[in-house]
Each structure stands twice: as C-alpha cells, then as structure tokens.
Amino acid sequence: MTTPKADVTLVTDPRFMGGTASAFLADITALSRAGLRLGLRLVRSRGFFQPEDPDNPALTALAERSDIIIDPDSSNCLFLHNPQVFGHAQAGHLPVSAFGRCDRLFMVAHHPPFLGDGALCYDPLSTTRSAERLVVRGVRAEWLPVSGLVRAQLRSFQPFLLLSEEDWVNTFDTAEWQPQRPKLAAGPLVIGRHGRANADKWPDDPRAIAASLPVGPQVRVHVLGAEAKAFEALGVTHEAWRIDPFGSLSPRAYLDGLDVFSYFYSARWAEAFGRTIAEAMLMGVRCILDPRLEQTFGPHAIYCQPADVAKVLNEIRQSPDLHRDAAAAAQEWARATLDLATVIPRLARLRATPPSRRGMAPRAVPPLTTLRKLVGFHRRSMTSNVPSEGA
C-alpha cells in the first residue's frame, strides 16, 4: 500500500542519545509546528553502536504520533541525520532504494570526518555513494554541516562532494530557556559544565581538567552528569566540587545556577557544534571555551587554555558589568540564530539554492593529506574487523 508523500522525512538510528538526537527532535518540533507532512524512518545501522546500546525512548515515541507518516514511499526532502550510520558498513544491509523516492537528499553532518588528532573517522565520499543507493536512482546527496568547523573539513573533499551553502545548525525552543536569576551578581562565582564522563569530552591531562574548573575563595564548582568516580579514575582532585549525577537536575535548572560555563575537551576530539554551550548562552551564562570552538561561536565567548581559566575568572570578577553585557549579547545572538523559528526559512533557502562542488573556500585539510588519510582509512578497514565508516 502506497503511503502519502511527505514534505520532509527525517531518518536516523534510534540509539542516538546526545546531540544528534536532540537536534533531530528539535527539527521534528519545528517542522510539525509549521504544518508540514512529516515522514519518519528509524533504521538500525550495523557496527557503529554496540549490541547492548538501548533505543532512545524520545526517538522511538515519535513512531506513535498520528501526525507523522512512518516509512513514506516518497518525500520532497529526505534528511539523513549523522553520516556515521549511513556508510556502506553501517547501512549496506538495507535494500537498494529502501527509502523510496525523494526530490532532494540531504546528509546532516553532526560530526566532522576528521578527529582532533587528524584521524579520519568516516569517509564522506563512500558515505555519499552508500546514501544515494538508499533512494530511487538519480538523486545526488547534498551535505549539510552543522557548523563552520564541519564545513571546513567537508570542503577538504571537494570537488567530489556536493556541499550546501546553508549550515544546518542545531535549534532550540528558546521560549523554554528563560533564566530566572541574575548572573555575575555579588558573591562567589559559580563555574561548571554538564555532560557525561566520556574521555574525549574532557582534557587529556587531569591537571587541565582541574584547571578548567578551578576552586578558589571566590569560586564554586558545580558539575552535572559526570560521576565522581570517573574523575577519581582520571586522577582529578574534586573534593571541593559539587557533583550531581546525570538526570538529577534539568539542564535548564542547572545552568540557571551558574555564572560561568567552562568547556574544554580532548586533543583527540573535534567538537562539531557544542549544544550544551548554546544552552548555557541561552541561559545568560558567560562561556569560557576551548579556542577550537571559535569557528562556531565567534565573538560570543572567551577563548583560552585551561591553565588560564583562573585568570579569566579574576578578570570577570573585576569587571562584572562588562561580562554581564557580553553574556546578554551572546544570549541575544543564540535566540536570533538558533530558535526553532529559523528552521522553516532555512529550509526554504536550502531548497532554492543549489549545492556547490567548487571548493574554492579554505579547507581544513590539504588535498594530498586528505588523499593519504582516505587511502589509510580504507586500508585499515580491509585488514580490521571494525567497520570502516564510524570506526
């Protein structure tokens, strides 16, 4: 039986739990509010997730909604969320043309192809071919980076890649992110960050972790989501920190209790967007970030090394009005740029603008290095039991 044609169909693996899932759900909300006919496909990829990884209840619950078409035969636009589950090693078990017909096919790149240490974690070129076999023949896959950092990396594969002129940034229901307390007021500053204790998401040196969240007479540290035992295993002194387990506080309530948000991560990692940072900005919290994030957040944060955080906090304490104004400007930028209301006009621009193969803008990785990484990546995949894309 033929299903109705969807205006937009979104596809991903139901086991995503972090930024990909949150961005996917936000897109669903924005498109639904606009009254579009929504399609949904939840596909179980192979090799990227572990067999014991559970489904995300928020994603699987979408299949119960009466306003969503499940597995439509055709769509005006088909969005594949996260290339790490659509490479041949992950999606090659799906039948040819499994996703039916579509007028436009988009790959939303929630992760850059290169990690922080230069390792290639998926091949955009073979992933493109794998994605194109999932739809009726003749439609080319167009890549949508979620940030400037991802865009610069994807440019390294041009002219062999169709790259949209439009970034597909994360969005938020900004009406739900309303601070209730003034920040940078009198008294000790409260600094923190939230997220699980994934080693890639924290600095490699325990001294850098401690320096990024410095304890002092006028500084309190509050961490959400990363268990104390994880810091103990890393050799990080945390006795003076307040650490709340994952799920014990809502992110909004937690962020509203901070004055400063500190975010630094491993040299091996490449942060594609930084959803938790955007949330902090929406709550009016001043952000101190890893310099690699400047491509995404521009002038709306302070960038330094972990060792310099204590000095930056002292500067904030000496000029609270200046930094309160800067935090308010960052909040205004986030509300204007990342609200759900931006999705529909962005979709209209996307459909009206053809993608580009030109690749004339700066690339993150030189062509010869990219070629060498591709050769090494596929050589490893042939001699390893680990699937190539997403390995």
Please say if the pLDDT value at position 5 is more than 60: yes
Could you check whether the bond before residue 83 is cis, i.e. omega within 30 degrees of 0?
no
Separation CA 149–CA 153 (nearest Å)? 7
Residue 81 pLDDT > 50, yes or no?
A: yes
Q: Averaged over 90-94, what is the pLDDT? A: 95
> Could you tell me if residue 203 is inside a domain?
yes
The string of pLDDT tens digits covering residues 375-384 is 677 777 766 5
Statement to judge: residues 131 and 180 lie in one domain: no
* Residues 171 and 336: beta-carbon distance below 8 Å: no
End-to-end CA distance of the chain: 38
How far is 322 from 367, CA to CA, in rounded Å?
A: 43
pTM of the model as a whole: 0.90
Question: Does 386 score more than 60 pLDDT?
Answer: no
DSSP state of 234: H
Any idea which of 65-69, 71-75, 184-188, 331-335 has the lowest mean pLDDT?
184-188
* pLDDT, tens digit, 9 for 90 and up, residues 187-226: 899 999 998 878 889 999 999 999 999 999 899 999 998 8
Same-domain pairing of 42 and 190: no
- Which residue matches tokens 């302070």? 302
Does a structural domain hold residue 297?
yes
Could you tell me if residue 388 is inside a domain? no
Verify that 142 and 259 share a domain, yes or no: no
Confidence tier at 390 by pLDDT (50, 70, 90): very low
Its domain, for residue 290, covers 175-338
Q: Give which of 167, 174, 182, 168 is closest to 332, Cα–Cα.
A: 174
Residues 147/150/153/158 CA torsion (nearest 10 deg): -80
Query: Do residues 321 and 185 share a domain?
Result: yes
